[in-house]
Chains A and B, each alone.
Chain A
Amino acid sequence: MPLFAAGVSHKNAPLALREQLAADEDKVREILRDLVGGGTLREAVILSTCNRVEVYGVADVPGEARAAAFRHLCRQRGVASAAVEGLLYTYAEEDAIRHAFRVAASLDSMMIGEPQILGQVKDAFALAQGCEAVGPALHTLFTQAFAVAKRVRTETEIARHAVSVSFAAVELAKTIFAKLAGRAVLLLGAGKMSELAAKHLVEQGAFPIYVVNRTWARAQELARALSGTAVPFEELGTALAAVDIVITSTGAAAPIVTRDMVAPVVRGRGTRPLFFIDIAVPRDVEPGVDALPGVYRYDIDDLQQVVDANIRERLREAQRGEALVEREVAKFRARLGDVEVIPTIVSLRERLEEIRAGEVRRTLARLPDASPETRAALEALSAGIVNKILHAPITKLRESSRAGAHRSWLALVHELFGLGRRS
């Protein structure tokens, strides 16, 4: 099965070029029909996202098929094919399998572990299926790639921890509070990032949401967007007493939430912690606040530090993902090898059985007086010879398929025993 994968991605091509090449579904359909219908490729899947444009294909002459596919893409998108040709990477056979697994498992992504890519690969596969561009080879490959991606996702932690500041804030809240459902949140200021963090908290069940802003109209607007309550700026102190999580993002030049303001609030809270997420620069919450018992405060730098640590963790986990992919590639290759070798073994057996049965028939025709015992002995003798002769070649074929070098052996066996053309 001459399998290949070729394309451009964020690793080797500038965004401008990727933008130009990225094709929408209709265009991809058209190209697939042309390529597979025209016989250039036997099977094809085109993956087109903002980070990569790739063709996975099966063709008798992979080099030609690859060039044809990208000429098509370039023509469709009005890109000079020379510019693309020089950048293209190509993987063949085992490397193509590995590449498909790595892409689906998000190991090749710009942000390792990002969850969208698997869905995009699935869509690309479905699209190609819809165009009848998927045959047995790519079907096996992609089904397995989805399974590998799932394993990498569940068995390693590449997608586990937050890599954005707003998600990191939510994750931190989870290490403090037993559950986020029913935690009251106060938004101080109306920055985009704080709104995003608040949305994440609401998704986790945080309720109620209070919004305090110097501009009353903006407070009301944001409160509506988050199904919360706008609170006048003067009542900030009261609001602090009522909430568990405070997200601040005002443009104020000096801290708004001071230690003197929080200290009396803390005394009345009992065992409930109070968590400040300060996304503002300059900071809105006085750093001394978190010296108070049960008060935790993270500013933008602290959150960034958490994000950085999480990214490092993802890279470490990616190593484990790569090892897993490597094992899966080896398994998959062995399976593919078996798939190719087994029909040959079957026809080899059939061929020799045919010869044996014919010879036995002919011999017995010349021995009309042969007793049933003699007939049985002849059958057994001939079957025994055939099995003994077949043993070595079949073993060899199986071994060669596991070693990945079955192709020349298959050709040889077909040639020697006149098994007819391999499909």
Chain B
Amino acid sequence: MGVFIVRRLAQAVPVIFLISLLLFFMMHAMPGGPLAMYVHQPGITKAMLEQIRIDYGLNHGVWTQYVDWLDKAVRGDFGYSYVYAQPAVTMMLARLPATLELMLSSFLITVVFSFLLGVYSAVRQYSLGDYAITVVSYFGFSMPTFWLGLMVLILFSVQLHWFPAGGISTAGAAFSLGDRLWHLVLPMLVLAFYTLASESRYVRSSMLDVIRQDYIRTARAKGLSERRVIWRHALRNALLPVVTVMVMDAAYLFGGALITETIFSWPGMGRLFIQAILQSDYPVLMAIVSFLSVVIVLANILADVLYGLLDPRIQYS
């Protein structure tokens, strides 16, 4: 197992390297270069521009810049934000907790409810409830997250005033858990909806595969309660393919968070990214994309490893 993990990690290195190369050269392909925003500032002189170029190391060759960048990136130094003159990584990390709060709570909701709904759907296949869940999940993965977010915002905050229209807490108020949760509800549910729709389907089909197997009939024949047969015997094997999907989806929740954070003014990493896009703040963009790429690669490995741990039939040699 240990050997397998190490080998998977080693395999990931060239992928991460290729990604970093790709992203780095993408940035240098841009019109005007990273200095574009300074050129248009009033009162800036050629000499000042030159100084900025040297300060940012932009006077070297592209390859030198890349090696320079990579060397620093490995140590977590992505340079300074062009706009805020703060280390890009510091800015990103400052926003990470808010994003994680949103993502983890959404993930939790997704996992719990996709199991409940998926198992129900499978056990009561073709029942009215199963059809209802099927229809709703079809809606779920056809509905653009940002539109769902807008609709929820209009209905529950603007019209009904049940929930705040955005932000992570009431501005200026002292910290209170209730207030935080109050702000969390809408963005969390919106973010969870899409993954819930697709994952409850995975649980359903995985359960359906398992339920028809002989050992389930044996368990029933032994006289075990239906509850025990379903939740202990069947679910355990149905879990396998689902766990992989869920771990992968957790990484992709960052993309959903990008949209949700923008709509609900959630002070997370996604919103920082959009700000940086609008301000052409390349170090920040680079830091975030690099970070997420690593997260996705690691999630891939984690999914593989978990699969191996959960399924004793799989031998890694």
> Are A and B part of the same complex?
no
Instruction: Name A's B-contacting residues (CB within 8 A).
Output: none
Report B's interface with A, CB cutoff 8 A.
Answer: none
